Amino acid sequence: MSRRLVLILAVTCAVAVGNLYFPQAVGPLIATGLGVSPDTATVVVTATQIGYTAGMVFLVPLGDRFRHRTLLVVLLSLAGLALLGAGCAPSLPPLVAASVLVGLTTVAAQIIGPLAAGLVAPERRGAVLGTLLSGSTGGMLLARAFSGTLGEWLGWRAPYLVASAVTLVLAGVMAYAAPSTTPSPAAARLPYARFLAEPLRLLRSEPELRRSCLYQAAAFGGFSAAWTCVALLLTGPEYGYGTSAVGVLALVGAATMLSTPYAGRLVDRYGPGPVNLVTLLGILASAVVLAAGALGGAVGLVALTVGILLLDVAMQSGAVANQSRMYALRADARSRLNTAYMTCAYSGGTVGSWLGVRAYAAFGWPAVCALIGLLALVALVRHLVPAGRAREAVGAGPAAPAPDPQKATDAAGHRPV
Is 298 buried (19+), middle (13-18) or exposed (0-12) by CB count in 10 A? exposed
Instruction: Report domain extents, the chain.
Output: 3-189, 201-390+406-411
Residue 79 in contact with residue 105, Cβ under 8 Å?
Answer: yes
Q: From residue 360, how far is each of 108, 377, 401 by CA, in Å?
A: 35, 20, 46
- 369 vs 231: which has the higher pLDDT: 369
User: What pLDDT was estimated at residue 390?
Assistant: 43
Q: Which of 128, 144, 162 is nearest to 254 (CA)?
A: 144
Whether 3-189 shares its CATH topology with 201-390+406-411 is answered: yes
Q: What residues contact residue 192 under an 8 Å CB cut-off, 6+ apart?
A: none
Residue 401 predicted with pLDDT over 60: no
Render pLDDT for 292-337 as a digit per residue (tens, 0 to 9).
Answer: 998 888 899 999 999 999 999 999 999 999 999 999 998 888 999 9
User: For residue 97, is it left (φ>0), alpha (ψ between -120 and 50) or beta?
Assistant: alpha
- What does 64-84 look like in DSSP terms, one character per residue? GTS-HHHHHHHHHHHHHHHHH
Which of the four CATH numbers 3.30.300.30, 1.20.1250.20, 3.40.50.460, 3.20.20.80 does domain 201-390+406-411 have? 1.20.1250.20
**Average pLDDT of every residue of the chain:** 85
User: What pLDDT was estimated at residue 353?
Assistant: 85
User: What pLDDT was estimated at residue 143?
Assistant: 81
User: What pLDDT was estimated at residue 227?
Assistant: 84
User: What pLDDT was estimated at residue 414?
Assistant: 44
User: What pLDDT was estimated at residue 393?
Assistant: 42
- 414 vs 85: which has the higher pLDDT: 85
CA-CA distance, 68 to 65, in Å (whole number)? 9
Q: From residue 320, how far is each of 75, 80, 267 by CA, in Å?
A: 24, 28, 8
Residue 408 predicted with pLDDT over 60: no
Angle at 208 between CA 204 and CA 211, to 5 degrees: 90
Per residue, the 3-state secondary structure of 81-95, as one string, reads HHHHHHHCCCCHHHH
Render pLDDT for 240-277 as a digit per residue (tens, 0 to 9).
Answer: 776 556 666 777 777 778 888 899 999 999 999 999 99
Residue 406 predicted with pLDDT over 70: no
Specify the CATH superfamily of domain 3-189: MFS general substrate transporter like domains (1.20.1250.20)
User: What pLDDT was estimated at residue 405?
Assistant: 41
Residue 396 predicted with pLDDT over 90: no
Q: Which of 49, 19, 13 is nearest to 160 (CA)?
A: 19
pLDDT confidence bin for 404, thresholds 50/70/90: very low
CA-CA distance, 163 to 386, in Å (whole number)? 48
Q: From residue 122, how far is each of 266, 354, 395 by CA, in Å?
A: 13, 38, 8
Using DSSP's 3-state secondary structure scheme, residue 186 falls into helix
Render pLDDT for 150-182 as a digit per residue (tens, 0 to 9).
Answer: 887 888 899 999 999 999 999 999 999 888 787
Render pLDDT for 66-99 as a digit per residue (tens, 0 to 9).
Answer: 889 999 999 999 999 999 999 999 999 999 999 9
Render pLDDT for 122-145 as a digit per residue (tens, 0 to 9).
Answer: 888 888 999 998 888 888 878 877
Terminal C-alpha separation, the chain: 7
CA-CA distance, 52 to 408, in Å (whole number)? 30
